[in-house]
Amino acid sequence: MDIAIIGAGVIGLATAWRVAARGAAVTLIDPAPGGGASSVAAGMLTPVSELAYGEEPLLRLGLASRDRYREFAAELEEATGLATGYRADGILEVAFDADDLRHLEEVRRFQESLGIPAEALTGRECRKLEPMLAPGVRGGLLAPEDGAVDPRRLAPALLAAAERHGARTVRRRAAEVIVEGGAAAGVRLADGGEVRADRVLLAAGPWSGEIGGLPPGVVPPVRPVKGQVIRLRSRVPFLRRCTRGVVRGFPIYLVPREDGEVVVGATQEEMGFDTRVTAGGLWELLRDARELVPGITELEFAEVSAGLRPGSPDNAPVMGPSALPGLVIGTGHFRNGILLTPVSADILAEALLEGTVPEVGRDFTPERLVGAP
Ligand code: GLY
């Protein structure tokens, strides 16, 4: 089977690896594989902390993906010899003031009601785990099974793994899906070339709605949600594990890596296709991060960047066969793209190769937003 994949972010790449390993002839189409949000994301693997209330189906999907990560990363590292930065040493979520602590207590009760372990800690216990935390931190929650991966390592490893199974990469922009006889038959490139295929996967993140050639109502609306991120560098061990916080109601996270990088994120802005880094965005991140971990002001500044998360109308992913035969949709991962990569690749591989969606993905098919195929 010939499969064309529009978009080589982590979702497109991981799916390419899975279907190429099962014998499909894959063409990835993306001017910058592993770029976009995949190169900006910090890479936390935390199914609970990024959720809004009432998102239990998404929580189940996130837990399923987190639980597949260890094996997924090990398999990928073994196949390519490339590290992914995977770690599962827990995530500490802390509260800055009394209101933030009340919020955290609600989160803990929510988790408990779902049977998810979360250890409530006093401020002192938090500082014992992370001595760099501010003396004022009121308390926290430890999610012992959460962790992180380094998306800037994950994406190249996925690309290498897909290429080892014969996937080819076309570093050009996709303009439209070619539709023939009422079915997807390939992809027309912006410069006029064509990639013919039996199946097309639309995994272009927030640009998924910008691809032409498709009948109306096939692709649910997907909007870009901007996130600005700062990368700092520490010469000495700084934080031991990913640390999140709520500072006067605003969420902030710090993701340390073994090489000394500390990623501080992220803003959440509805600004359309705007990836400008702004003074205000950076100021808010540094202000809140410094409240939690005052020592960050001593770290060396490395980089600022802004990415666009793909947000669907209900902020949940959209994965599965579409109303157009031959076209599978894989977008809308919003704040959870890195976390959801392993499970999404499994869901999308089945959708492409067999035309079905496994049980774990049934709540996230396109028809919930655009009607049945
Ligand atoms: N998952 C982190 C973020 O979207 O900022």
- Give the residue, by CA position, lying nearest to ligand 1 atom 1: 335
Mean pLDDT, the chain, whole residue set? 95
Give the separation between CA 137 and CA 305, rounded to whole angstroms: 28
What are the DSSP calls for 165-228, one per residue? TT-EEE-S-EEEEEEETTEEEEEEETTS-EEE-SEEEE--GGGGGG-BSPPTTSS---EEEEEE
- Give the H/E segment covering residue 104: helix 98-113
Query: Rounded CA gap, 89 and 145, in Å?
Result: 7
Amino acid code (one letter) for 23:
G
Identity of residue 116:
I
CA gap 335, 326 in Å, rounded? 28
Give the DSSP H or E segment for 36: none
- Whole-number CA gyration radius for the chain: 20
Q: Of 44, 267, 333, which is best to mutate to test ligand 1, by the most ligand atoms within 8 angstroms of its C-beta?
A: 44
In the predicted structure, residue 227 carries a pLDDT above the cut 80: yes
pLDDT of 372 higher than 70: no
The predicted pLDDT at position 116 comes to 83
Estimate to the nearest angstrom the gap between the alpha carbon of 126 and the chain centroid: 27
List the alpha helices (DSSP H) in 220-340: 279-292
* Å from CA of 290 to ligand 1 middle: 19
Taking 90 as the threshold, does the pLDDT of residue 97 lie above it? no
Pairing type for strands 91-95 and 139-143 reads antiparallel
10 Å CB burial of residue 8 (0-12, 13-18, 19+) is buried
Give per-residue pLDDT as tens, 109-145.
888 888 887 889 999 999 999 999 999 999 999 988 8
Pocket (CB within 6 angstroms of ligand 1): 44, 50, 227, 265-266, 309, 335
Decide if 63 contacts 49 (C-beta within 8 A): no
pTM for the full model?
0.96
Which of 154, 250, 253 is the pocket-test mutation for ligand 1 (most atoms within 8 Å of CB)? 253
Task: Please tell me the residue having the least CA distance from ligand 1 atom 4.
Answer: 335
- When pLDDT is cut at 50, 70 and 90, the band that residue 224 belongs to is very high
Side chain identity, residue 183: A
Supply the pLDDT for residue 373. 62
pLDDT interval class at 281 (50, 70, 90): very high
Give the mean model confidence (pLDDT) for residues 285-304.
Answer: 96
Q: How many CB atoms lie within 10 A of CB 284?
A: 16
Q: First and final CA of the chain: distance in angstroms?
A: 21
Closest residue by Cα to residue 11 from 31, 30, 38, 32: 38
pLDDT for position 275: 97
* pLDDT score at 111: 83
> Per-residue DSSP letters for 320-350?
EE-SSTTEEEEE--GGGTTTTHHHHHHHHHH
| Per-residue model confidence (pLDDT) at position 108 | 87
